[in-house]
């Protein structure tokens, strides 16, 4: 059955069967992925999945059901299953549906050329990426990972309160990780690319960058412990934002798990720090004109010139604070519950390059990688202690590589100690992004 017809019939039957309100959430994904190793295909996937998640209020309680089939008989199954589930849940867990001021519409962010690519063209691009990585530096001996994928996704939500929205988009992603070796020393270097414009994707340049990154870290040594002026590469700062993003969620604040409680409209970061959540950013990883509850998404300034302007909310957490949702209620999957999540969550870039930040730093440390964020970071207190590697900075230039160091600090203090934000905005695959940032100082444990 056609998607929109199925949703309408489902809502109609649910209302006739005694639901006071209800929603039909549809998701379809077509995914292609190829992994290559030593010039041959090592893994290949060409799959599709679609389904409908139904939720509605019956006898004052919210019930749920879902299906991956969309035939006439599945409509009654969903309504019956949701009824049965509703009686098992307390009234306090009832979920409110979104009542739109306008019915909505359909958004498309589709590059037709991506849909016309053949599987062979994608495979050959992945092979070129691997070949370039293997030839990108003399020290590269093998590959850890080389994968290319494309996705086409449609999300459509209808509810009994007048909501009717849909969005279609496609994209391509590439990830390559090279292994470099010198004697007994082994280093890896990875590079990630994402976009819609196939013609702007350079497989050779992507592979070469991973190779050069791996080779550049060979010969790393230790360094003395102390407090150093630091430049954090964009991918490192983006990792901090990814892990500590929940401190900006309304539901986290309400539970008492964020030290930002009561600090709205107060200064919490340096003047150069502006943090945005922009679901419509053209160059971002995410495109979301509405969230998984159907609430319109918009570009939001979370921190503006150091001042905390807003928390991020879904419908449930926004209702507790008596404010509208910010459009940050998202499902991790078709059957997942709605939780607060960021979209393109990034520090606004400045005007100076990473090299200019290093020149301004003079001497100190460039940190290019951190590990152990989930185990070594406390998202309540903001404290972190993490293994890191990077390069010494001497006379304003990147110098020898360093490893086996630990950087420690506090996320809230890190925001206050940023002296300058660079222009080289980098987005990780999860939607968090940052340019390189120059930090007044950080504690480094070394030799």
**Looking at residue 103, which CATH number applies to its domain?**
3.30.2290.10
Q: What is the mean pLDDT of the chain?
A: 95
Task: Tell me what percent of the residues of the chain surpass a pLDDT of 70.
Answer: 100
Same domain assignment for residues 147 and 21: yes
pLDDT tops 80 at residue 131: yes
Same domain assignment for residues 375 and 258: no
What band does 90 get if pLDDT is binned at 50, 70 and 90?
Answer: confident
Same domain assignment for residues 201 and 237: no
What band does 287 get if pLDDT is binned at 50, 70 and 90?
Answer: very high
pLDDT for residue 24: 98
Tens of pLDDT, residue by residue over 384-412, are: 999 999 999 999 999 999 999 999 999 99
Same domain assignment for residues 280 and 142: no
pLDDT tops 80 at residue 103: no
Distance CA 145, CA 166 (A): 35
Q: Which residues of 405-426 are buried (b: 16+ CB within 10 A; e: fewer)?
A: bbbebebbebbebbbbbbebbb
pLDDT for residue 447: 76
Domain boundary among 345, 368, 399: 345
Same domain assignment for residues 19 and 55: yes
84-98, 259-273, 339-353: which has the minimum mean pLDDT? Answer: 84-98
pLDDT tops 80 at residue 429: no
Same domain assignment for residues 78 and 106: yes
Cβ neighbours for 87, distance < 8 A, ≥ 6 positions apart: 58, 59, 61, 63
Check: CB of residue 358 under 8 Å from CB of residue 437: no
Same domain assignment for residues 416 and 287: no
Same domain assignment for residues 335 and 186: no
pLDDT for residue 384: 96
Q: Which is more confidently placed, 372 or 438?
A: 438
Check: CB of residue 411 under 8 Å from CB of residue 418: no
Task: Report CA-CA distances (Å) from 3 to 100, 102, 267.
Answer: 21, 21, 48
Q: Which residue has the tokens 């998701």?
A: 27
Domain count, the chain: 3
The stretch 117-133 carries a mean pLDDT of 96
Same domain assignment for residues 99 and 208: yes
Distance CA 54, CA 93 (A): 16
Same domain assignment for residues 203 and 299: no
What band does 375 get if pLDDT is binned at 50, 70 and 90?
Answer: confident
The stretch 435-447 carries a mean pLDDT of 94
pLDDT for residue 430: 83
What band does 373 get if pLDDT is binned at 50, 70 and 90?
Answer: confident
Same domain assignment for residues 314 and 398: no
pLDDT tops 90 at residue 102: no
Task: Tell me what percent of the residues of the chain surpass a pLDDT of 90.
Answer: 91
14-23, 97-106, 179-188: which has the minimum mean pLDDT? Answer: 97-106
pLDDT for residue 92: 78
Q: Tell me which residue range forms the domain holding 59.
A: 3-215
The stretch 13-41 carries a mean pLDDT of 96
What band does 118 get if pLDDT is binned at 50, 70 and 90?
Answer: very high
Distance CA 288, CA 27 (A): 13
| Local structure of 180: helix, strand or coil | strand
pLDDT tops 90 at residue 162: yes
CA 19 to chain centre: 35
Tens of pLDDT, residue by residue over 150-160, are: 999 999 999 99
Domain boundary among 345, 372, 396: 345
Same domain assignment for residues 261 and 370: no
Domain boundary among 326, 345, 364: 345
pLDDT for residue 91: 80
pLDDT tops 90 at residue 43: yes
Q: E strand or H helix at 122, and its extent?
A: helix 119-135
pLDDT for residue 175: 95
């Amino acid at each position: 059955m056609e998607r929109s017809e199925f949703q309408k019939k489902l809502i109609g039957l649910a209302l006739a069967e005694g639901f006071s309100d209800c929603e039909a959430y549809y998701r379809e994904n077509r995914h292609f992925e190829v992994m290559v190793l030593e010039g041959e295909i090592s893994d290949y996937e060409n799959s599709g999945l679609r389904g409908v998640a139904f939720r509605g209020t019956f006898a004052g309680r919210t019930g749920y059901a879902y299906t991956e089939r969309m035939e006439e008989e599945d409509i009654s199954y969903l309504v019956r299953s949701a009824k049965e589930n509703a009686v098992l849940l307390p009234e306090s867990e009832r979920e409110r549906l979104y009542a739109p001021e306008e019915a909505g519409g359909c958004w498309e962010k589709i590059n037709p050329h991506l849909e016309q690519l053949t599987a062979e063209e994608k495979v050959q691009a992945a092979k070129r990426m691997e070949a370039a990585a293997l030839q990108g530096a003399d020290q590269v001996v093998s590959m850890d990972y080389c994968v290319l994928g494309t996705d086409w996704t449609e999300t459509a939500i209808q509810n009994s309160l007048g909501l009717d929205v849909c969005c279609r988009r496609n994209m391509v992603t590439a990830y390559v990780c090279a292994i470099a070796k010198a004697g007994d020393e082994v280093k890896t270097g990875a590079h990630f690319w994402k976009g819609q414009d196939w013609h702007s994707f350079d497989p050779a340049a992507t592979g070469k960058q991973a190779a050069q990154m791996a080779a550049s870290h060979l010969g790393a040594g230790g360094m003395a412990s102390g407090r150093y002026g630091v430049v954090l590469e964009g991918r490192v700062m983006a990792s901090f934002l990814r892990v500590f993003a929940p401190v900006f969620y309304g539901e986290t604040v309400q539970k008492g798990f964020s030290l930002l409680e009561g600090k709205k409209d107060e200064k919490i970061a340096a003047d150069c720090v502006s943090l945005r959540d922009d679901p419509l950013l053209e160059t971002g990883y995410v495109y979301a004109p509405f969230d998984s509850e159907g609430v319109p998404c918009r570009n939001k300034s979370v921190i503006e010139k150091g001042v905390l302007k807003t928390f991020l909310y879904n419908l449930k957490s926004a209702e507790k604070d008596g404010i509208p949702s910010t459009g940050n209620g998202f499902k991790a999957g078709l059957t997942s519950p709605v939780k607060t999540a960021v979209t393109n969550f990034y520090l606004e870039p400045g005007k100076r390059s990473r090299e200019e930040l290093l020149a301004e730093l003079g001497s100190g440390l460039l940190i290019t990688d951190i590990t152990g964020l989930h185990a070594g970071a406390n998202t309540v207190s903001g404290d972190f202690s993490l293994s890191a590697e990077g390069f010494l900075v001497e006379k304003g230039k990147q110098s020898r590589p360093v490893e086996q160091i630990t950087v420690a600090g506090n996320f809230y203090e890190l925001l206050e100690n940023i002296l300058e934000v660079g222009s080289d905005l980098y987005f990780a695959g999860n939607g968090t992004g940052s340019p390189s940032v120059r930090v007044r100082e950080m504690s480094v444990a070394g030799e």
